[in-house]
Amino acid sequence: MKIVVFDNQVDAALKQLKKQMLKDGLFQEMKRREHYEKPSVKRKRKMREARKRRRREQKRRVIR
């Protein structure tokens, strides 16, 4: 990830960086890695995320 700073506008660059990190899901990843996650909990989370992705895909197909 690369953010270019123009004319010492650090605040704007930080805002852009945070937006990009949110889009890429890095904040969620950091939160998840803060504490140990049991394998059973990890498996359930991944299944839940997969269901969510599938529902989202089906919703997009219905709209088109």
Per DSSP, the residues of 16-60 read HHHHHHHHHTHHHHHHHHTS---HHHHHHHHHHHHHHHHHHHHHH
The pLDDT profile of the chain, 64 residues, written as one tens digit per residue, is 788 888 999 999 999 999 999 999 999 899 999 999 999 999 999 999 999 999 999 998 888 7
pTM (2 d.p.): 0.59
CB-facing half-sphere around the CA of 45: CA atoms within 13 A: 9
Angle at 27 between CA 47 and CA 38, to 5 degrees: 40
